[in-house]
Amino acid sequence: MYQKLIYIAYGWLVLTGVLHFVVDVLSQYLRGKRAPSPETTLYYGLNSAFSLGQVAVGLLGLMIAWRASSLLSDMPVLIVSIAAGLGWFAITLLFMEYTEPRFNAGVFLVLMTAVVVAHRFQ
């Protein structure tokens, strides 16, 4: 059961990271919604780093789950994933004014907690 939850958790991370990048960076840039300024540069930089970091970690997690699933049964790896989720959640609380990234990071944390619980009681 926890193997399926691992795929769901990291797949969620990839999906929401790609969607976050498309909606908050790419579409706003292509439509010219923000005037060139230092604030715009910071906005694009923060959202690009946040979303592409999620995609990178999600793809890495999916690759590890696919190629070396026994590695994801080690508790330290799961704890590092939860720590990354907590970091993303903290970034959304401190630096982002809208709630969608908070929700996405929160769902990832819930899914990873479910992975730990399912693995523990397997």
* Domain regions of the chain by residue span: 2-120
CA 38 to chain CA centroid, Å, is: 26
pLDDT of residue 90 exceeding 90, the answer is: yes
Q: What is the pLDDT of residues 1-17, one digit of tens each?
A: 778 999 999 999 999 99
Give dist(CA 97, CA 42) in Å, integer. Answer: 14
Q: Which of 67, 72, 105, 68 is nearest to 86 (CA)?
A: 105
pLDDT of residue 71: 85
Q: What is the pLDDT of residues 14-63, one digit of tens each?
A: 999 999 999 999 999 999 888 889 999 999 999 999 999 999 999 999 99
Residue type, 66: W
pTM, two decimal places: 0.89
Q: How many CB atoms lie within 10 A of CB 51?
A: 24
pLDDT tier for residue 119 given thresholds of 50, 70 and 90: confident
